[in-house]
Structure 1
Amino acid sequence: MKVFLKLIWFFKLRKKEYLIGLSMLGLVAILNLIPPKVIGYVIDEIGNGELTTQSLAKWVGIIIVVAILIYIMRYYWRRMIFGSSTYLAKLLREKLFHHFTKMSPSFYQQRRVGDLMAHATNDISAVQQTAGGGVLTLFDSVTTGGFVILAMAITIDWRLTLIALIPMPLMAISTSYYGKLLHSRFREAQAAFSDLNDKTQESISGIKVIKTFGQQDEDTADFTRLSNDVVDKNMKVAKIDSLFDPTISLVIGFSFMLSLGFGAKFIYEGSMSIGDLVAFNTYLGLLVWPMLAFGMLFNIMERGSASYDRIEQLLEVPVEIDDKENALDSKPNGDIGFKIDDFKFPGDQASALHSVHFTLKRGETLGIVGKTGSGKTTILKLLLREFEGYNGEIRFGNHTIDDYKKQRLREAIGYVPQDHFLFSTTVFENIAFNNPQENREEVEQIAKIAHIHDDILRFTNGYETIVGERGVSLSGGQKQRISIARALMMKPELLILDDSLSAVDAKTEEAILKSLKEAREDSTTIITSHRLSAIEHAHLIIVMDDGTIVEQGTHEELMALQGKYFEMYQLQQLERLVEKGGEEIE
């Protein structure tokens, strides 16, 4: 019953619907008592030779009225109870999704997408079944069973009722034992399904890589292994589940045997009529459903309890980065002051950044260069407040970035990451993602700044072309430029391009940078790049190595130092010279 206690908040929320539904269900249980009694009266009238056409019509009429009332009430209790359980699924799904949107990147580093999807689908379905079918079986088994037993004891014979109930404790003990086994096994089955779900999602997303490396057979074998594990775990659940009905049927069979044996004895003694015994056994037949429902209840409760525990565990994961009390509800603007003495990623012993200090005036461009793993993207993640826990401070305007609400901070920043993600919708909707109501002219103007407009016009349906999942139908350069256009649509105070021009040629890169400089004359821009041509024009360039700044200045100042930046520049010039076949680079 623990799962019902955990869901008490929801039952209070929908108490009106549940009260109406359960009241209707109780009335149906009472009305179901009438037909067996009517049958007993008819049999006694037949036995006594008292049945007439008029009395038969009366009894038939009563049964028809009862059937109509039961039909109407069953319709309404189903709407109230099952409708409420659907609403619970909606609430939990929205609660989970909202929780996911607030979590930091470290949360997703520790959990797989397939597992999170399993929580939002299979687990929620199991909890929904608890609030619907579980409530139904609990109330129905108690009320119907209770009313039937009372009718048997009061209107027929209390002695025979007690005798028929003798096997019932055996059922209670057995189903309780089965329920404990079911809880642990269903939890294991849900975990196995999460693994399979994650494998499916990962394989479909990486199908190109799998095919490129010719790993289809190996990947299929891995999928089959996980699929078999799901089957094995669910078969263990089914083996326990399959014990409920036979156990209950066996108990009911004993009850029938006892009632027929002792009932015959009471008839012989003259303390019971044949009609009473027929009515008693009809009532006993009505007990079959409550007993089966009782077994189903254990099944539903244990499944729901295991799933709700899994959902609660996710919801209890604290939000690592949240707004402080009285956070500023305004978009930041102004100079950026970055002063980080030391920062380690959660769980890491080594510093990801140390002694990284620089100031970027509003309207200036910062270029960040360095080899892979030198800390370029880490600087950007801290600016976006994806991570905290550093020694130092980051200021945006007159306040530190944690003084602002996260939503307002991120509204001021247009971020184009290395891993470009496009939604499986139209080109127009991808660019206008931040403002779906934006007019076509504005979107086209932004696309021209990102130098993707001409490419879009060559697509089959222009701006209405569906790009496919994650932009699968586009080239790397096209995805990068659409991502840049999407960021520009925000009209951000700070634009961050994290190696976002790597897939375009040098000529297109130069054209994009020129357009950005003209369009964002009074706004701040940060560019990280391996290609130095992308940041030559920057007002400030910092060279990162092993998590710290080893050089900083303008392009001319860094060239004059003849240090790391100079070496990188000379090497890239040599590479360009080789690409041009030894011709002199202008």
Structure 2
Amino acid sequence: MKELKHVNKYFKKYWSKLLIGIIITIIARVFQLVMPTYVKKSINVVEDALSGKITDASAENLLMEFILIIVGAALLSGFFTFLMRQTIINVSRYIEYDLKNEVFDHYQSLSLNFYKKNRTGDLMNRISEDVGQVRMYAGPALMYGINTVTLFVCIIPLMFITAPTLAAYALIPLPILSVLIYNISKVIHKRSTIVQEYLSTLSTFTQEVFSGVSVIKAYALEPQINGELQLLAVEGKEKSMDLAKVNAWFFPLMVLLIGISNILVIYVGGKQYINGEIESVGVIAEFIIYVNMLTWPVAIVGWLTSIVQRAEASQKRINEFLKSEPAIKNEEIEATPITGKIEFKNVSFTYEDTNITALKNISFTIKAGETVAILGKTGSGKSTILDLIARLYDVTEGEIRIDDIPIKKVNLNSLREAIGAVPQDAFLFSDSIKNNIKFGDHTASDEDVVKVAKNAAVHENIMGFAKKYETVLGERGITLSGGQKQRVSIARALLKDPEIYLFDDCLSAVDTETEEEILGNLKKASRNRTTLIVSHRVSSAKNADRILVLEDGTLLQEGTHDDLIAVEGYYKSLYLNQLSEKEN
């Protein structure tokens, strides 16, 4: 259970509620122990009445008194059992809540490399299915475990006090049961881990299918996907059946061993009664009740073992991620004011997952409030520059400075709060258009939302929808066209009004006329704001204060539009080609 030690901090957090739950559990079980004693007394009264030791009237009164005690104790035991569930099970829900938040917070702190190496379905399964298994350990397993221990601690001493020899015979099957549980639990742990890993695989597969359903339909791949899912389902069934077959041994073994205990009680107890070694038949009845009261606790040991083994396997998978250290760490606690000056000094960067060197010894300086366009072929390193500025990655070599401060010495939250980024692949949430725009500033008014939507040239499109700004988008913004998604993302960035704008080819899906309108609005909105525009189009770059031209990760050209078209090179060639295409 070493992996489950991680949960101990939550047990400490809710120790007072757990302590109350334990006390209530003990009280509930103590009331439950009233019944066997008074059943024995009731049988003794009947024996005494039959032998003439007491009158029938006295026997009837005593029986009625004992019955009322048994019923009262049962009601009180039931009431405290209810309170027991209300305390311990509630604590397990608090722990589930805390653990999910811990995992999710850690997810958010991890770098992009982590998400490139791990699939979404697996991440989702660990924060849902795996945390759910741990909750079962922190709630039902704990509650029934305490219940079981309490009964064992109370009943077994009572049995030995009442009839030591009979108790010894009745409890003979328990050591055998312990050995069986130990061996079977090891197999359960191994197979539980396999089942949990498979569930992650299945979650990943279904998540990818749902995300890519348009591609699947376009290529008529439904039969193929169904076939793959069927294979996964069959494999999952086999893994689950392997686990179920082991679990299936528990309950029959419990019933068998408890049955043997009952037979021993009746046989040995009967002989002892005949030989006068025990006082009455009531002792045999008392022991049968004790043994049957132990049936559920003993039977549940297997179930508890299964839960603990599953929780151990799940917590191990959770711990694997919790132990992952974020590659990007905030080394500055104090907030850092950002004005917008950016400097690259001999920067090189290689992607860890692909080993591709995206930037090679790049150096340039962008003044605060300056607009700089970055052009180049696909794979030249344009987007990488924006990612490094936002510190989504750290440079391999060289240094980036923000306002003359090394970027690692800048408070990470301050840096990202000062940036309004519009990625090439615009991401929108399954929420209303208004809320997607207000993602940039939750405190913004509806008038501000409309204003930035107009600047992004998407207001007219939004007003064309039946619910206008309250239109709820499908997953990843699938309700909108590519150009509309880009423009909503631009509106989101404009609403934030940051010190630094990062536009990553965010006008690639709009026509030239709309592009001109948006660029004009952006120029006004981003005045006195540092702006970087990555593009494949000269039209997006020509009005920038400066233009950087990249090729294969190196800085090929740098200057204004007029400077660059005056010399032979990539920029002039690109300009002439795009001018020719526009005229044609």
Counterparts in 2 of 1:221 and 1:460: CA distance versus 1, 3 Å: same
Question: CA deviation digits over 1:342-385, x for unaligned, max 9?
Answer: 22122554422112111112222111111111111111111110
User: CA contact under 8 A between 1:328 and 1:403: conserved in structure 2?
Assistant: no
Which residue pairs with 2:384 in the alignment? 378
- The yes-or-no answer on 1:269 pairing with 2:275 is yes
Match of 2:531 among 525, 528, 535: 525
Alpha-carbon distance between aligned partners in 2 of 1:276 and 1:489, rounded to the nearest angstrom: 82
Alignment of 1:310-321 (within 5 A): 310-321=317-328
Instruction: Give the TM-score of the pair, scaled to structure 2.
Output: 0.96
- Aligned mate of 2:419, from 413, 417, 426: 413
Find the counterpart in structure 1 of residue 295 from structure 2: 288
Task: Please tell me whether residue 133 in structure 1 is matched to residue 149 in structure 2.
Answer: no
Contact 1:331 1:408 in 2 (8 A): yes
- Choose the corresponding residue for 1:58, options 51, 61, 65: 65
Distance 1:162 1:46 in 2: 28
Matched, 1:102 2:102: no
- Contact in 2 for aligned 1:33/1:151 (Cα 8 Å): no
1:247 to 239, 242, 253: 253
Q: Secondary structure at the match of 1:253?
A: helix
Number of aligned positions between the proteins: 576
Q: Does 1:299 align with 2:341?
A: no
How far is 1:521 from its partner? 1.6
Comparing 238-247 with 326-335, greater Cα deviation is found at 326-335
Check conservation: 2:494, 2:525, Cα contact below 8 A.
no
Task: Indicate the SS of the match to 1:233.
Answer: helix
So what's the TM-score if we normalise by structure 1? Answer: 0.96
Aligned partner of residue 430 in structure 2, secondary structure = coil
Displacement after TM superposition at 1:401 (Å): 2.0
**Of 183, 189, 198, which residue of structure 1 is paired with 2:189?**
183
Matches within 5 A, 1:427-442: 427-442=433-448
Deviation by residue 1:203-257 (Cα, 9 ceiling, x = unmatched): 0010001111111111111122222222211111111111111112222122122
Structure 1 position 509, deviation (Å): 0.2
Does 1:35 find its partner at 2:41? no
Aligned mate of 2:452, from 446, 451, 470: 446
Given candidates 337, 340, 349, the residue that maps to 2:346 is 340
Comparing 420-429 with 144-153, greater Cα deviation is found at: 144-153
**What residue identity is the alignment partner of 2:22?**
L
- Describe the shift of the 1:436–1:350 C-alpha distance in structure 2 as closer, same or farther (beyond 3 A): closer
SS at match of 1:204: helix
What is the rounded CA distance, in whole Å, between the counterparts of 1:443 and 1:46 in structure 2? 86
Partner of 2:199: 193
Kindly indicate whether the alpha-carbon contact (under 8 Å) linking 2:189 and 2:309 is maintained by their aligned counterparts in 1.
yes
Work out whether residues 548 and 557 of structure 2, in 8 Å CA contact, stay in contact via their aligned partners in 1.
yes
**Contact 1:431/1:485 (CA < 8 Å) preserved in 2?**
yes
Indicate whether 1:354 and 2:380 are aligned.
no
Amino acid at match of 1:16: S
Return closer, same or farther for 1:450/1:5 CA change in 2, 3 Å cut-off.
Answer: closer
Instruction: Using the TM superposition, give the Cα deviation of residue 72 of structure 1 relative to its aligned residue in structure 2, in angstroms.
Output: 2.0
| Inter-partner Cα distance in structure 2 for 1:257 and 1:68 | 30
Which residue identity is paired with 1:307? Answer: S
State the SS of the aligned residue for 2:401. strand
Counterpart Cα distance in 2 of 1:548 and 1:223: 46
Residue 576 of structure 1 deviates from its aligned partner by: 2.4
State the alpha-carbon separation in 2 of the partners of residues 422 and 478 from structure 1. Answer: 11
* d(CA) in 2 for partners of 1:266, 1:3: 50
Pair 243,2 (structure 1): closer, same or farther in 2 beyond 3 Å: farther
- Tell me which of 455, 467, 476 is aligned to 1:470: 476
Distance in 2 (CA, whole Å) between partners of 1:454 and 1:347 is: 42
Deviations 1:428-471 (A, max 9, x none): 11111132231111111111111111211111111111122211
Question: Where does structure 1 lack aligned partners over 5 or more consecutive residues?
Answer: 579-586
Q: Is contact 2:340-2:500 (8 Å) kept?
A: no
Following the alignment from structure 2 to structure 1, what is the Cα–Cα distance between the partners of residues 380 and 554? 8
**Contact (CA 8 Å) 1:336, 1:361: kept in 2 or not?**
yes
**Structure 2 SS opposite 1:293:** helix
**What letter matches 1:127 in structure 2?**
V
**Corresponding residue for residue 78 of structure 2:** 71
C-alpha distance in 2, partners of 1:257/1:67? 27
* 1:366 counterpart residue number: 372
Asked whether the equivalents of residues 353 and 547 of structure 1 are also in contact (C-alpha less than 8 Å), the reply is yes
SS in 2 for 1:352: strand
Distance 1:3 1:133 in 2: 19
Q: 1:551 aligns with which of 536, 554, 557?
A: 557
Question: 1: distance between equivalents of 2:277 and 2:255?
Answer: 29
* Residue 522 of structure 2: aligned partner: 516
Does the 8 Å contact 2:340/2:529 carry over to 1? no
2:361 is paired with a residue whose SS is strand
CA contact (8 A) 2:130 2:314 kept: yes
Q: Residue type of the partner of 2:46?
A: I
8 A Cα contact 1:3 1:304, kept in partner: no
CA distance in structure 1 between the partners assigned to 2:422 and 2:346 by the alignment = 23
**Alpha-carbon distance, 1:545 to partner:** 1.1
Cα deviation per residue 1:532-560 (whole Å; 9 max; x = unaligned)? 21111111111111111111111111111
CA RMSD of aligned residues (A): 1.4
Mark the runs of 5 or more structure 2 residues left unpaired by the alignment.
none
1:569 aligns with 2:575: yes
Structure 2 residue identity aligned to 1:36: P
AA aligned to 2:128 is T
Secondary structure of the residue aligned to 1:310 is: helix
Task: Output one character per residue of 1:103-123: Cα deviation in whole Å (capped at 9) or x when no partner.
Answer: 110000000000000001110
1:496–1:334 distance in 2 versus 1, CA, 3 Å: closer
SS of 1:561's equivalent in the other structure is coil
1:506-528 deviations in whole A, cap 9, x for unaligned? 00000100111122221111111
Q: CA deviation at 1:396?
A: 1.8
Same amino acid, percent of matched pairs? 36
Alpha-carbon displacement from aligned partner over 1:298-353 (angstroms, at most 9, x marks no partner): 111101111111111110000111111x4440331142112233221225544221
Q: Distance in 2 between matches of 1:518 and 1:7?
A: 54
Query: Which amino acid in 1 is paired with 2:429?
Result: F
Counterpart of 2:556, as a letter, is V
Q: Contact conserved, 1:450 with 1:485, CA < 8 A, in 2?
A: yes
Deviation of the 1:7 alpha carbon: 2.7
Q: Distance in 1 between matches of 2:289 and 2:543?
A: 92
CA distance in 2, matches of 1:201, 1:448: 35
Secondary structure of the 2:362 match is strand
AA aligned opposite 1:46: V
Work out whether 1:16 is the aligned partner of 2:22.
no
SS of aligned partner of 2:248: helix
1:233 maps to 239
Partner secondary structure for residue 575 of structure 1? helix
Q: Is the 8 A contact 2:533 2:541 kept in 1?
A: yes
- Of stretches 566-575 and 143-152 in structure 1, the one that deviates more from structure 2 is 566-575
Which residue in 1 is equivalent to 2:393?
Answer: 387
